Structure 1
Amino acid sequence: MVGHVTPASTAPPEALSWSADNCTISRAMAILGEKWTIVVLREVFSGIRRFDDMRVRTGVPRQVLTNRLAVLVEHGVLRREPYQEPGSRVRHEYRLTEKGFDLYPVLIAVAEWGNRYLADPAGPPIEYAHRDCGAEVHIEMHCADGHTVAEKRAVVPRPGPGTHRRA
């Protein structure tokens, strides 16, 4: 049996008329898009704040980790806090700012996707739980009117107030 073929639409997608020059997704990915960035954030969200602990646990090369941390500090996602072990020089640990904490849903969404499609047969290596009751935390979509959006295809992009037409 031959599969059903949908006829090609003759009208171009409306999104082609919007400029993507000031796209906030592109701007966010300029900060977060390098593969080690989310891994570094995973560590900080897990309470691992010191450079050497992150490097040993993740295997990220020293210079790459230095660069990732510098970018996250530069963009206000992390802040550096000095500490000093007795007899050692002053070093820094990295702590989340409010801007950094706002990335928690992103991290959980990436983890949920990975747990669903990429986990070992034994199950996911990490789960996120509500501190107060211990139940697992999951990401849900809601519209501004409070409706739960369960069907992903029910979400459509539309021009926002900062959109301008392509030249």
Structure 2
Amino acid sequence: MVTSTNSRSKNEHHCSIHRSLDLVGEKWSLLIVRNALRGQTRFSEFRDSLGVPSDVLAARLASLVEAGVLERRAYREPGARERFSYHLTAEGAALKTVLIALQEWGDEFTPNAGGRVSLTRDTATGQHASLAFVGDDGAVLDPATIALVPGPAAPAAW
């Protein structure tokens, strides 16, 4: 049976960009991951720092857990009920590259009048770090020379 694109599940899309956006393409999802990269783990921390409605936050956290981006861990403060904290998985931590790419794009094309809010630094040396395209030989490539080309699973009418 052939299904339309609209009725396909997130795992049926051939395009990896499409599949990825199905999982993390909503604004709140990426902001939750950003804040998790900054060390936040608790529902209240995400809610208070992002200003996201609780029902939206609960739904996004659940979808990120289901997608394997976050994992839920139970904790209990003395005298309080059990709650859950949310921690990045290896898959979630790998989204750092995506967020830094968005940050670099935003800093260049939609700059904040007050300057950059976040900087990328190597934790060992403190030197500035930026994303780059690197060839198989280790050479940094000019982004203008990089193209998306059909891969082995691309449909004939790409």
- Same fold by TM-score, threshold 0.5 exceeded? yes
Runs of 5+ in structure 2 lacking a partner?
Answer: 1-12
Identity, in percent, stands at 36
- 2:58 aligned partner, one-letter code: T
What is residue 38 of structure 2 aligned with on the other side?
46
Give yes or no for the alignment of 1:129 onto 2:121.
yes
Q: Which has the higher strand share?
A: 2
Residue 83 of structure 1 contacts residue 92 of structure 1 at CA under 8 Å; is this kept in 2? yes
- TM-score computed with the length of structure 1 as normaliser: 0.81
- 1:74 aligned partner, one-letter code: E
Give yes or no for the alignment of 1:159 onto 2:112.
no
What is residue 28 of structure 1 aligned with on the other side?
20
How many residues are treated as equivalent by the alignment?
A: 146
- 1:153 aligned partner, one-letter code: A
d(CA) in 2 for partners of 1:144, 1:161: 19
d(CA) in 1 for partners of 2:156, 2:137: 28
Structure scoring higher RCO (CA < 8 A, sep ≥ 6) equals 1
What is residue 112 of structure 2 aligned with on the other side?
120
CA RMSD of aligned residues (A): 1.6
Moved more, 46-55 or 122-131: 122-131
Using the TM superposition, give the Cα deviation of residue 125 of structure 1 relative to its aligned residue in structure 2, in angstroms. 1.1
State the SS of the aligned residue for 2:112.
coil
- TM-score computed with the length of structure 2 as normaliser: 0.86
State the SS of the aligned residue for 1:125.
coil
| Higher-Rg member (1/2) | 1
